[in-house]
Amino acid sequence: MSKPLSIGVAGLGTVGVGVVKILAERKDFLTAASGRAMKLVAVSARNKTKDRGIDISGVRWEDDARAMSSADDIDVVVELIGGSDGIARELVETALSNGKHVVTANKALIARHGVALARVAEQRGVALNYEAAVAGGIPIIKALREGLAANEITSVAGILNGTCNYILTEMEATGRSFEAVLADAQALGYAEADPSFDVGGIDAAHKLAILASLAFGQEVSFDNVEVEGIERITASDIEFAKDFGYKIKLLGVAMRGPGGVEQRVHPTLVPEGTPLAAVSGVFNAVSIEGDRVGQLVLEGRGAGEGPTASAVLSDLVDIARGLVVPPFIVPTSHLKPSVKAKSDANKSAYYIRFNAADRAGSIAEITRALADAQVSIERIVQSSEPRDASTGRLPVVFLTHETEEGSMRKALIHLSKHEDVAGKPLVVRLATSGSR
Ligand SMILES: NC(=O)c1ccc[n+]([C@@H]2O[C@H](COP(=O)([O-])OP(=O)(O)OC[C@H]3O[C@@H](n4cnc5c(N)ncnc54)[C@H](OP(=O)(O)O)[C@@H]3O)[C@@H](O)[C@H]2O)c1
């Protein structure tokens, strides 16, 4: 049997502890599956004395994780610290430059610097694996890289942030406000003390940028993702959507559009009865459409110790087996630059909610203003509650027919100028066929 694969784990938090546990508990199986033993030789975290519930007594402690990147006895550095820059980036970059394989769960790092790091990995002939960075325990990267290699991918859509999906599911189940459910999620440990990365859609956008690169053979470009979070969704929106036969989900969607690839993260009305509508709580799901395979939906836990460590281990097994593949499926020289698709001609139906004066003729005028912008209305609901405390205005909800995004933008300008409309209307897309 070949010599053991020597591993250094940098970061012993939720994921790092999970990885150390699996390495110990599944040792025999992992050795048999890989054809060689996996040996944990070094670990690092900030606090050396913290009890983490794992046995690391025979393992070297590095006060500075960066020492792993040049240690002669380490073949693979597993980066589980986090952050797109700082020590995580330095550690990964140096380890790759020094000819060490790297496994990471760090979506922010890969979304921001993935291609540059992949170039270094390719030059040195080592692996840069990051299965855990997208949708936790769901083996989505291997699915795209291996199982779907025969397909031209036409769209990828996913529920990529468990915190948001938990909040939206709870709001639906209990009728409570976004703020109240977020506070509970924080108390339960499902949401960070600073939840802005999750609820603002940034975390999902990091993952979507990676998926879009893999699916469409383009460079990862986080800056080309349009991002909108769930902060403005109210319990009444969820109730209105339900009456129309939809659930509200934070979706990440990537598909080919005119002149480029569209990459968007935003709340979306997803028709009940479709796979993504059925995904509840902290679960993640990714729906892929390939020209040969049709639609494929993978669902599972997107975070947490076990699922994330499970994905890290699958990357380690690949390396132990000697499998080194281009980090973005094709060599970086084959990746196309990421070009943002022109969005004006994109077609979608929309949910629009705004507060309007309770005045005869007001809705007819607003509808006419929208029609002038080529937006036609399929359904209107004028609700008697909740009445806006300061203006006395009442919520009005429109569902539009399919319309071009450019027309919708014009319609919103008309709407915001109308004297009976208060505040900024909430506009939510209805899922198109590639995003359900
Ligand atoms: N948690 C999840 O479910 C999940 C899911 C998917 C991906 N990820 C990704 O996995 C990575 C790790 O996440 P996590 O949830 O495990 O984070 P975490 O629980 O906050 O753990 C981070 C670890 O990094 C250590 N650390 C921080 N700064 C360090 C430094 N300068 N040098 C050495 N160690 C340092 C911390 O040390 P101390 O323990 O001593 O403070 C801690 O052990 C992140 O990139 C995250 O985005 C996490």
Look at residues 422, 427, 413 and name the one whose alpha carbon lies nearest to residue 393: 422
The residue count for the chain:
436
pLDDT band of 98, cuts 50, 70, 90: very high
The pLDDT tens digits for 153-211 are 999 999 999 999 999 999 999 999 999 999 999 998 888 888 999 999 999 999 999 99
| pLDDT at residue number 194 | 86
How many Å lie between the centroid of ligand 1 and the Cα of residue 203? 15
Residue 433 has pLDDT above 80, yes or no: no
Residue 300 has pLDDT above 80, yes or no: yes
Domains plus CATH for the chain? 5-133 (3.40.50.720), 140-301 (3.30.360.10), 347-431 (3.30.70.260)
| pLDDT at residue number 188 | 86
CA angle 221, 426, 262 (to 5 degrees): 25
DSSP string, 6-22: EEEEE--SHHHHHHHHH
Average pLDDT over residues 24-28: 97
- The rounded percent of the chain whose pLDDT value lies above 90 is 82
| pLDDT at residue number 389 | 73
Nearest ligand 1 atom to the CA of 15 is 16
Residue 1 has pLDDT above 70, yes or no: no
Q: Is 252 in the pocket of ligand 1 (CB under 6 A)?
A: no
Residue 434 has pLDDT above 70, yes or no: no
CA angle 43, 44, 46 (to 5 degrees): 155
- Residue from 9, 12, 15, 78 to probe ligand 1 pocket by mutation (most atoms less than 8 Å from CB): 15
Q: Is 204 in the pocket of ligand 1 (CB under 6 A)?
A: no
pLDDT band of 118, cuts 50, 70, 90: very high
Q: Exactly one of 100, 107, 207, 249 is catalytic; which is it?
A: 207
The pLDDT tens digits for 316-343 are 999 999 999 999 999 999 999 998 888 7
| pLDDT at residue number 190 | 82
- Catalytic residue flag (residue 100): no
Q: Which residue did the predictor score with more confidence, 391 or 59?
A: 59
Measured from the Cβ of residue 73, the count of other Cβ atoms closer than 10 Å reads 11
How many Å lie between the centroid of ligand 1 and the Cα of residue 285? 23
DSSP string, 328-391: TSS-GGGPBPP-BPP-TT-EE-EEEEEEE---TTHHHHHHHHHHHTT--EEEEEE-S-SPPTTT
The pLDDT tens digits for 123-147 are 999 999 999 999 999 999 999 999 9
Please answer whether residues 236 and 393 qualify as being in contact, where contact means their C-beta atoms are separated by less than 8 angstroms. no
pTM of the model as a whole: 0.95
Look at residues 429, 351, 352, 420 and name the one whose alpha carbon lies nearest to residue 388: 420
| pLDDT at residue number 87 | 97
